[in-house]
Amino acid sequence: MNKVFGFTRFLVIFGVISSLILSAVIFIAGLIEAIQIVFELATSLGHAGILKEAAVSAIQLVDHILIAAAMYIIAAGLYELFIGKAELPPWLVIERLEDLKDRLLGVSAAVLVVSFVAEVATWDGERDLMSIGLPVAAVIIAVGVFTYLTHRSIGHKHEEK
């Protein structure tokens, strides 16, 4: 049975490949979107409101880039956890499942913040921003509390050994 599990851990490569493909596609789409924003700015100089529209588009682009980065982190993390070591920057080395969860929760919180900023930037004065902002704040607080409690719990386990 040990050999079966030893070999089947390589099934995770499908998740790694899937995440890498999604990451690459989203990054490429982001590059195309960035080029479009620059082109619109260059061809519309002097038109009222174009700068605000470009700024909102740029904020939304950051959201896509963060999602692409999350997919890359998932791929790198799964590879590190199940397959083997990869040449990654020290901050991206994943040694435990908790490391991967921490990075994903951080990126997820950042995506929520960027999405809310995009809502604020396009606010028409009529929509209720509190109905969007309060749930975003609640999720970010929950992520912070979860992360804090998880690290505290892990810290206690390491102290007991």
- Predicted local distance difference test score (pLDDT) of residue 23: 97
- Predicted local distance difference test score (pLDDT) of residue 157: 56
- For residue 105, report the phi and psi dihedrals to the nearest 5 degrees: -65, -40
Question: Over 60: is that where the pLDDT of 160 sits?
Answer: no
- Predicted local distance difference test score (pLDDT) of residue 141: 94
Does pTM top 0.85 for this prediction? no
Question: Over 60: is that where the pLDDT of 111 sits?
Answer: yes
CB burial of residue 74 (10 Å; 0-12, 13-18, 19+) = buried
Residue whose C-alpha is closest to residue 143's, from 119, 115, 107 = 107
| Both structure tokens of 93 | 């080395």
**How far out from the chain centre does Cα 57 lie?**
18
What is the tens place of the pLDDT at every residue in 126-154?
888 999 999 999 999 998 898 888 877 76
